[in-house]
Chains A and B, each alone.
Chain A
Amino acid sequence: MASRLPPQPGEWIDRGTSINFSFEGKGYRAFKGDVITSALLAADRLSIGRSFKYHRLRGVLSAANHDANLLVETTTRTNIRADIEHPEPGVSYRAVNTFGGLKRDAGSLLQLFSSVLPVGFYYKTFYRPRALFPIWEKLLRRFAGLGAVNTDAPIRRWSRRNRFCDVLVIGGGAAGLAAARTLAGRSLEVIVVDENPRLGGRLHYQGQGDPTALSVIAAAEESFGRDSGIEVLTAHFAAGFYADNSVPLVGPDGIIQVQAKCVIFATGLYEQPAVFRNNDLPGIMLASGVQRLVHRYAIAPFDSAVVLAGNREAYRVTLDLVQAGLNITTIVDMGDGSHGELRERVNGHGITVIPQATVISARARGGRLAAIRLRTETGKPEITCDGLLMSVGWAPAAGLAYQAGATMEFDETIGQLVPRELPSGLFVAGSLNGVFDDDALRADGEAAASDALKCLGLVSPDNLRPRRSIERHSHPYPIAAHSRGWDFVDFDEDVQVGDLRTAWREGFDSAELMKRYATVGMGPSQGKTANMNAQRILARLNETSVQAAGVTTSRPFTHPVPMGMLAGRRFRPRWRTPMHACHVARQADLMEAGTWLRPRSYTRKTPESAITDEYARVRHGVGIIDVSTLGKIELFGADALPLLEYAYTCSFTKLGTGMTRYIFMVDDTGTLVDDGVAARVSDDHFYVTATSSHAQAAVLKLQLYAVQLGLDVAVIDRTFRVGAINLAGPLSAQVLASLTGLDLSAQAFPYLGIRFCQLDGTPVRLLRVGFVGELGYEIHFPASYGPALWRALLNAGAAHDIRPFGVDAQRLLRLEKGHLIVGQDTDGTTNPYEAGLGWGVNLSKSRFVGRHSLKVLKTQTARKLVGFTCSEPEGRMIEECHLVIEGGVIAGRVTSVAYSPYCSEVIGLMMVDLALTRTGRELKVKLTDGGLAAVRVAKTPFYDPDNQRQHLHAQQTVNTAK
């Protein structure tokens, strides 16, 4: 049985402070510093979880954050790692992945059907008959996954912080500490990170026989004082390695994204299990796992144990544990057992050594290990024991190094993958590098630090790297496959040796293919205790070497990271216009237009009637719309005009001061990318607008062109600093006249004019332009005046029943007028000739962006943007991007469509093949349901084709105002 030992030197528990918690409905007591598993073991509870596929009982394997079968949950959190997390007072924990609790898990019945659930069974089984798939899917989803997320649990926000340092040392074991000590006090910023709550790595649990081990840690900690430049981050793990030496460190409070000039990987090794029948029984553990339990938490996890030895470390562990008071009866040595002085010392403790033997199976009683069966030179004896310690070898913790671009090779001498090449600025130290002895670890850490110093351009002594170990530390094949199975290679996914053989037989004979098909290494521990044995098995199946068998690609994350931590605090800017609060106050239905928030309409859910109402106010009265999202650019300087001439397709020579004109921009290929209005304020001062979605790009292009051409012009982006309101409708001049003394007559302020004035005391620019097809004024003003000006306009127009209108009404109004929207009615290939804007291209200009392309495109236009109408009922089902079909092939697409109150039918714009653009021609549009709607090509504008509304109403309204 498992029990608590007397106090151990350097133990991590505080026996003076108790914590009560419950697990699976039963109360337990822990000491402060205990993890959940140690507290349960102290109460002789060995079975703590169920396996993923077959729901087999599982206990502690590594006690090192790799025990994926020991995930527990509470009412608010799931997939808590019981082998590293401390129990919280009063909290109830339960195992994940059970049906009816840990003890009576109905899922364990799956073990009875294991013969019909081989690897890949779901690929082969559940797709036929097709009708049954929904049922299978429901069932499989119920069984798949670990833990359940409680969506009602309180939301916790983790932080994601950025940090910068000179050297990041990953791993605070013997080598990492030596590296950090070498770097201390050199005016460098150094971060030492370790996943354990204390520094020291295996010095804490494997060095107890050596009285200097704890003093090594203490000395290192002492040297990391205030002025050392060393920052220690314990309880943080490096989750991945990204470009520019960027490493996310995941800790209890969130992620610290560290960018380091140099990185030292002192990440150590993962101890590997042996494979034999029932090697997953509670009571069978990695030797280092038992050492952690003993030296950190003073737990003896068994009464009587056997050690399965594949290396010399097994003898050292045995001596260490015997010294701690544990009862070890036998060492089953997979080799010849000739370990000299170590063997003698072991024998001196009365421990039997059985050489040339291995464990081939284990059996349980009461859900825990009861006995093991050996294969020896003389037979297959059984040994009664309740503990089996596996000390058969190691695998490098090389995930981060791989991600950083390291290449590894298999060192046959020590039986381990070791680094061959590393990218610049990255260094490896310690057992990851194939050194094992304490002195070698220290020397290797110091040498890695010296290399880092030199990389940083600092003077450093030439610390020579110690020689790699010449001793074999890993057994070449610690695998005893069993004909009756339950010989687990991967404890996370319940992958057995037979599964890998099946995968191999079916052609999945490379490391990457086998991983995908057999799911080996794909569980929460990411193959830390599985991949090495899988590689050995694959090598044997392929009759090749471990090196040739290859490894799978390592990708972030090396260890699971909670989604909430990845998300961090939610940084999602949404741009608000200056009048945003006014829109919210009027209960606008806000929509995302790119990054901007804009009112779709001024009702909560935007029924069609609301759009029609807003539309009608503009057509017949007056409305205002917030158009602050428009790009606004100021050009100032002697070369402002040459810049415009170069950046836009039209000519500006005839644009008089105080006037505006429609402009558009193309790229080098002649593709239409932006449109807007340019106003000439003075000879060296222009004010330009751009589309909302392209404003920043337009500014950058103008700035780029100015630099490229060496022009004397300042390009100032005022998009965010200037607000804009469009006052539109036949009564708009009347509203405006009540707020300004400016002469609004057609003569004094003609269509396309720009004027500077004050509206109710606010300095504004008025642009007489009309996107929606009615008399209108774009009012531009310093953004902070926005709310007051919006209210002033609404007050001034109250007598005319002025209403704000949203984007949907605006789009309908402009569609009736036949105005296109760049990006909606055009795409990434549309040129001005296709869009019907050829009149705005002045090829007689000697140079402008896209000129050469446009010259060619002018003669090669193959499609055109045209209007269409549809008076049939199915016209209401036409949507943007529906395809135009002619002769059974695609002949174009609908770019805009809406029901027009003015035309009393559906109208729209479509980009179609040039041959189909004759007015009146009938075309077919394919609807979402597969049906076809007949439409007719129509002339645009649909509304006010002679543009009389601008002139007629300006005259009328000003007369009325006067």
Chain B
Amino acid sequence: MLKQSPIIGCFAHDKFQFAGVNGMRIATLSNTSSYLDQPTGDYVADLSAIPKRLVVGVEAPVWLAQQGIEAPSGLLQYHLIEDGTTVVKLHHQQYLLISGISIMTRLPLGSVFDLDEGRHGNVMVLDYECAEIAIGGPHLAVLLAEFCPMDFAAAPEGVWIATPMAHCEVSLQLNRTGKPACRVLCSPAEAQYLFEIIKDVIDQHDGAVLGFNDYVTIIVNGGVSQP
């Protein structure tokens, strides 16, 4: 049985192709976007198919170390692992693992993302169901200023930030240097609302809505700055 992206309803069936990515049905390719030819404007993309796991328990740092992952010590601190996996300390005894986008070339860490939900030794591994939205482009700062009541300038580059965004509680990682971009994690229940309202701003600036594979092709492989 295929999972389904919580944002899939925001993608018109006649404008996108859909496919399974990591067991999740998601919009992959845009049929109409000209962004592929000129990737300079604003974009928003659904990256919810990127696997995420929550490792829970007092023994979680030890267990992660056994997997070759150093657990961050401070809340919302993160480490970037070689294969692109990010580990973020989300809460007391709770560590979020976010797979790198190039999941096909996962290193041994891939096994963490393949684990079934449940107890594994002294920790519990949970499927971290959430929507992931990537936003980028020249108007990102304007969008964030409108949606988030916080001073991003006060936050160090690349740090994970917990903030309200358009009245939804999200975690986001912001890249301000180069071409600005950010990735936003939000609950599935709020994802469609949040994506629609972001898309509204992107549309105002003649930006593009990208499918998952569009994003990989243009942003990741195309050298456009990514979070």
Taking beta carbons and an 8 Å cutoff, which residues of A are in contact with B?
159-164, 189, 256-257, 259, 568-569, 571-578, 580-581, 596, 634, 636-638, 682, 685, 703, 707, 712, 714, 716, 718, 720-722, 756, 760-763, 782-789, 792
Contacts and interface: CB of A to CB of B under 8 A. Distances in A.
A784 B5 contact: yes
A714 B93 contact: yes
Interface of B is mostly: mixed
A720 B1 contact: no
Given A161-B145, A786-B4, A788-B1, A636 B188 contact: no
A578 B145 CA distance: 29
B148 A784 contact: no
Interface of B: 1-6, 9, 24, 48, 54, 56-58, 91-94, 116-119, 124, 126-130, 142, 145-151, 153-154, 166-168, 187-190, 192-194, 197, 200-201
A572 B166 CA distance: 8
24 contacts: A164-B151, A569-B200, A574-B193, A575-B190, A576-B6, A576-B189, A576-B192, A577-B189, A578-B6, A634-B126, A707-B92, A714-B91, A720-B129, A721-B128, A721-B130, A721-B187, A763-B116, A782-B117, A782-B127, A784-B5, A784-B129, A786-B4, A788-B1, A788-B2
A164 B124 contact: no
Nearest to B142: A161
A596 B153 CA distance: 34
A69 to B, nearest CB: 35
Contact of A569 (B1, B56, B127, B146): B146
Contacts of A160: 146
B154 A685 contact: no
Contact of B94 (A638, A716, A722): A716
Given A576-B189, A576-B193, 7 more contacts: A162-B149, A162-B151, A569-B200, A571-B166, A578-B6, A716-B94, A788-B2
Contacts of A763: 116-117
Contact of B146 (A161, A718, A786): A161
Given A714-B56, A762-B1, A578 B188 contact: yes
Contacts, number: 130
B1 A789 contact: yes
B107 to A, nearest CB: 25
Contact of A636 (B1, B4, B56, B150): B56
B56 A573 contact: no
B58 A637 contact: yes
A361 B201 CA distance: 57
Contact of B188 (A162, A568, A573, A721): A721
Contact of A785 (B3, B118, B151, B154): B3
A784 B4 contact: yes
A761 B1 contact: yes
Given A636-B57, A721-B188, A162 B4 contact: no
Contacts of A189: 153
Contacts of A638: 58
A785 B128 contact: no
A634 B197 contact: no
Interface core residue of A571, A572, A574, A722 (most chain B CB under 10 Å) = A571
A752 B102 CA distance: 44
B197 A637 contact: no
B161 to A, nearest CB: 14
Contacts of B24: 784
Given A576-B193, A682-B119, A634 B124 contact: yes
Nearest to A792: B1
5 closest A-B pairs by beta carbon, nearest first, are A720-B187, A784-B3, A164-B151, A721-B129, A575-B189
B4 A573 contact: no
A573 B56 CA distance: 29
Nearest to B194: A573
A716 B129 contact: no
Contacts of B94: 714, 716
Contacts of B3: 782, 784-785, 788
A760 B126 contact: no
A576 B197 CA distance: 15
B188 A572 contact: no
A467 B70 CA distance: 64
B62 to A, nearest CB: 14
B42 to A, nearest CB: 14
Contacts of B187: 575, 720-721
A581 B129 contact: no
Given A716-B94, A788-B2, A571 B167 contact: yes
A716 B56 contact: yes
B151 A636 contact: no
Contacts of A714: 56-58, 91-94, 124
A783 B6 contact: yes
A716 B1 contact: no
Contact of B1 (A256, A259, A703, A785): A785
Contacts of B197: 569, 571
A634 B127 CA distance: 12
A488 B167 CA distance: 47
A568 to B, nearest CB: 8
Contacts of A788: 1-4
Nearest to A597: B189
Contacts of A572: 167
Nearest to B167: A571
A667 B153 CA distance: 41
B166 A573 contact: yes
A685 B125 CA distance: 12
A164 B127 contact: no
Contacts of A682: 119
Contacts of A783: 6, 129, 188-189
A566 to B, nearest CB: 14
A162 B146 contact: yes
B170 to A, nearest CB: 11
A80 B124 CA distance: 62
Contacts of B188: 578, 720-721, 783-784
Given A164-B151, A573-B193, A575-B189, A782 B129 contact: yes
A716 B54 CA distance: 10
A528 B207 CA distance: 44
A796 to B, nearest CB: 13
Contacts of B194: 573
Contact of B153 (A164, A720, A762): A164
Q: Which of B48, B129, B200 has the most CB of A within 10 A?
A: B129
Contacts of A256: 145
Contacts of B118: 756
A840 B74 CA distance: 40
B201 to A, nearest CB: 8
Max count, chain A CB within 10 A of own CB: residue among B5, B118, B124: B124
A299 to B, nearest CB: 37
Given A571-B197, A763-B117, A718 B126 contact: yes
A596 B92 CA distance: 28
B168 A573 contact: yes
Contact of B189 (A703, A720, A785): A720
B111 to A, nearest CB: 18
B52 to A, nearest CB: 10
Interface centre among B93, B126, B146, B193 (most CB of A within 10 A): B146
B171 to A, nearest CB: 13
Contacts of B167: 571-573
Contacts of B130: 720-721
A784 B26 CA distance: 11
A784 B4 CA distance: 5
Contact of B58 (A162, A576, A712): A712
Contacts of A721: 126-130, 187-188
A162 B58 CA distance: 39
Nearest to B165: A571
Contacts of B56: 634, 636, 714, 716
Contacts of A161: 142, 145-146
A952 to B, nearest CB: 32
Given A714-B57, A784-B188, A788-B2, A162 B193 contact: no
